[in-house]
Amino acid sequence: MHPPSRQDYVSISFAGQGSGVYNNSKQWRRQSCWRKWKQLSRLQRSLILFILVLLFICGIASYPSITEHLSAINWLEAVREAFRHAWKGYKDFAWGHDELRPLSKSYSEWFGLGLTLIDALDTMWIMGLKEEFEEAKAWVATELTFNKNVDVNLFESTIRILGGLLSTYHLTGDTLFLDKAKDIGSRLMPAFNTPSKIPYSDVNIGKGTAHPPRWTSDSTVAEVTSIQLEFRELTRLTQEPQYQDAVAEVMKQVHKLDGKLDGLVPMFINTNNGQFTHQGIYTLGARADSYYEYLLKQWIQGGKKENQLLEDYLQAIEGVKKNLLQKSSPNGLTFVGELSHGQFSPKMDHLVCFLPGTLALGAHNGLPADHMDLAKQLMETCYQMYVQMETGLSPEIVHFNMHQGSTRDIDVKLADRHNLLRPEMVESLFYLYRLTKEHKYQEWGYEILQNFNKYTKVSSGGYTSINNVRDPDYPSPRDKMESFFLGETLKYLYLLFSDDSNLISLDQYVFNTEAHPLPIWPSTA
Ligand code: DMJ
């Protein structure tokens, strides 16, 4: 006997469809669709066509933003990757020391305080690099001591160490960082014991003594006026007034001093008599730059109440427009030059590229809209300082051509061809993108990251400063990775590529001049 046959398949037949056999051929399906389409009313057909057209238009319209979104995600990963590579070099060859020397696989010491590690703490936190952050935190907890017989520069250790510890405290809530911040903050205070109360440049944090550089009793104006955000915040957190009092006294004196030109300040100030020295030279570059930045940022930090700071800032920007702003030839790039005893020099430091970002931040906080126009023009100029170089990386200093008949806008002197992995360009790109959402700023940032990877990345770990941005075949590595590459450059690139405006919101935080975010003080009114 055979068992009854099992029916292993289902035969589907459609009533009234010819042979009654299931026909799944493409041709049959096409005919069937067409038949169904013809059965629809005119209204139904128009409705379907309308929906299809609408979907098509939406698809086309959203295509660029989808691709932009996807590239931004890849770029975020690319900058995290760059950070990991920089960190690997530091960890392998310079752990706990100030700076990595990536080519010689060694390190250099400036203050002997693990500068790169401290500068990089909040960057790791922001990038979500938890493992790396925890290792670094363990070093801070067990190895970092400020009880050392070393001379440190007041400004550099304030913006990098005090600023880095304060911002890491705010981001993590971990009091380890606040305790360390209090320790270094109090050890820096002897710098203010001068006849004029304008601080000395150097402090011995172990001995509690301070002094000016060996060759002068002057301090740099940008240095004494760019420590305020950090010391003011230290007072707010500790409720100990001496920190804020000391830095407010400096601002008070500088506000009243003779020797400014339309709000622009000279580069040096004497610690004995409190007067400007070497007068007559005005620049937005080295030795004056962050004076202007901190006028605006202190005003923002304090809840926009300290009118004197705002007035000094607004006056200085007018001073820049009147005395330092010019256009290059042949392409009319707007640039900020320098003035020396009445003589204009078309020289612009890469450092000046902080200015577009600061101007944009001011406009965001209600300052005149033409500040934003100027920010955009200067941003374009800074971009040209990169793209016109053979490596796509900016030199330290450029000179603009102003005479009719010039064939190119930008010249670079032999001695100025180096690039130290500085952040000012990508810092401003971050502000400009955050505040305008124009994608070209992200694209420019990504080009720069790629060029850092191409010309400054060292295969065994880390990135290096280079001597010659004009020679793509031999950019001549300098064998040094500055701490601000991790503290600032990579952080700003990451924030530039992030589309999350709440990731360090510009309405809640103000960045110190080393890219460490400090909270805007809550209003008590
Ligand atoms: C950093 O230490 C700070 O950004 C400072 O304001 C200027 N110099 C370097 C980066 O170029």
Sketch the domain layout of the chain as residue ranges: 33-519
Does an H or E element contain 107, and which?
A: strand 106-108
In order of 160, 246, 396, the CA distances from 497 in angstroms are 24, 38, 25
CA distance 350 to 348: 7
- Distance in angstroms (rounded) separating the CA atoms of residues 115 and 121: 10
Gap between the Cα atoms of 326 and 333, Å rounded:
8
- The CA 358 to ligand 1 mean position distance, Å, reads 14
Judge whether residue 24 has pLDDT over 80: no
Residue 150: exposure state from Cβ atoms within 10 A (0-12, 13-18, ≥19) = middle
Answer for the pair 274, 217: CB distance below 8 angstroms, yes or no.
no
Distance CA(147)–CA(479), nearest Å, equals 30
Q: At CA 330, angle to CA 420 and CA 292, rounded to 5?
A: 45
pLDDT value of residue 63 = 64
Q: How far apart are CA 435 and CA 438, in angstroms?
A: 9
Taking the centre of ligand 1 as the mean of its atom positions, its distance from the CA of residue 42, in whole angstroms, is 69
List pLDDT tens digits, range 399-411. Answer: 999 999 999 999 9
User: In the structure, which protein residues have their CB atom closer than 6 angstroms to any atom of ligand 1?
Assistant: 290, 422-423, 484, 488, 513-514
What number of other Cβ atoms are within 10 A of residue 429's Cβ? 29
CATH architecture of 33-519: Alpha/alpha barrel (1.50)
Contacts of 285 (CB under 8 A, 6+ apart): 338, 347, 348, 349, 351, 352, 397
Per-residue confidence (pLDDT) for residue 520, from 0 to 100: 98
Other Cβ atoms less than 10 A from the Cβ of 381: the count is: 23
Distance CA 449, CA 458 (A): 14
Cβ contact 347:289 at 8 Å: no
Phi, psi at 368, each rounded to 5° = -50, 140
* Residue 261, number of CB atoms within 10 A of its CB: 18
* Number of Cβ atoms within 10 Å of the Cβ of 186: 17
pLDDT digits (tens, 9 = 90+) for 475-501: 999 999 999 999 999 999 999 999 999
Q: Among the atoms of ligand 1, which is closest to the Cα of residue 159?
A: 2
Measured between alpha carbons, how far is 486 from 490 in angstroms, rounded to an integer?
5
Model pLDDT for residues 57-104, shown as the tens digit of each residue = 766 666 656 677 778 789 999 999 999 999 999 999 999 999 999 999
Tokens of 221: 């104006």
Whether pTM > 0.85 for this model: the answer is yes
Q: Which residues does the annotation mark as catalytic?
A: 156, 289, 396, 424
For residue 245, report the distance from its CA to the centre of ligand 1, in Å. 25
Q: What is the pLDDT of residues 110-160, one digit of tens each?
A: 999 999 999 999 999 999 999 999 999 999 999 999 999 999 999 999 999
Residue 365 clears pLDDT 50, i.e. is over it:
yes
Which residues are documented as binding site? 513
